[in-house]
Structure 1
Amino acid sequence: MSEVKMKLDDRRRGRFYIEEEGKQVGEMVIGVSETTLTVYHTEVNPELEGRGLAKKMLDEMVAYARQEHLQVLPLCEYVHQQFRKHHDDFADIWKK
């Protein structure tokens, strides 16, 4: 199974990402402030779509936001769609 990793720079910009065989195959671009985690973009290698990699990154991002008591601003189309579709699952962290 692919492990989701997270990397933030000094300005608290970064990403959740998945590597397979030393190559990045998916990423979720984020920015973190004192109260908000903003998701800008999610992308998975087209050859690996359908394996649930975007969902794994979503789950990891949500767990991180809850752990750090952050609200999520889903500017990314994929994350926004998931928040709308499963509203009850994300109501506690969704910054509308």
Structure 2
Amino acid sequence: MEEVKFKLDERKRGGFYIESDGKKVGEMVIGISETTLTVYHTEVDQEMEGKGFAKKMLDEMVGYAREKGLQVMPLCEYVLMQFRRHADEYEDIWKK
């Protein structure tokens, strides 16, 4: 089963990603400042769509933001759509 991994560089840029058979098949690109986690882009390989990978990365990102006390700025269309659809679920971390 594929699991979500997390990687940041020294400038606090990076993201959450999923590998399948050693190949990256999904990625959520983020940047972190003192109080904000900005999500720039979420992408899943076309042949892997529909398997819930984007939602898995979203859940990991939300958990990370809550754990670190960060507000999330969703510049990514997918994350913004999920935040709008489930506003009550993400209200505590959504930086509007």
TM tier, smaller = over 0.9
Could you tell me how far apart the structure 2 residues matched to 1:48 and 1:3 are? Answer: 14
Could you tell me how far apart the structure 2 residues matched to 1:33 and 1:5 are? Answer: 20
Q: How far did residue 5 of structure 1 move?
A: 0.4
Tell me which amino acid in the other structure corresponds to 1:18: I
Q: Which residue pairs with 2:89 in the alignment?
A: 89
SS in 1 for 2:2: coil
Tell me which amino acid in the other structure corresponds to 2:26: G
Q: How far did residue 23 of structure 1 move?
A: 0.2
- What is the TM-score of this pair, normalised by structure 1? 0.99
Tell me which amino acid in the other structure corresponds to 1:30: I
Could you tell me how far apart the structure 2 residues matched to 1:21 and 1:34 are? Answer: 35
Could you tell me how far apart the structure 2 residues matched to 1:2 and 1:84 are? Answer: 27
Deviations 1:38-89 (A, max 9, x none): 0000000000100000000000000000000000000000000000000000
Tell me which amino acid in the other structure corresponds to 1:81: M
Instruction: Provide the identity percentage.
Output: 73
Tell me which amino acid in the other structure corresponds to 1:31: G
| Structure 1 segments of 4+ aligned residues over 2 angstroms from their partners | none
Tell me, yes or no, if structure 1 residue 4 matches structure 2 residue 4: yes
**Superposition pairs for residues 57-96 of structure 1, below 5 Å?**
57-96=57-96
How many pairs were matched up?
96
- What is the TM-score of this pair, normalised by structure 2? 0.99
Root-mean-square deviation (CA, aligned residues, Å) is 0.4
**Superposition pairs for residues 1-40 of structure 1, below 5 Å?**
1-40=1-40
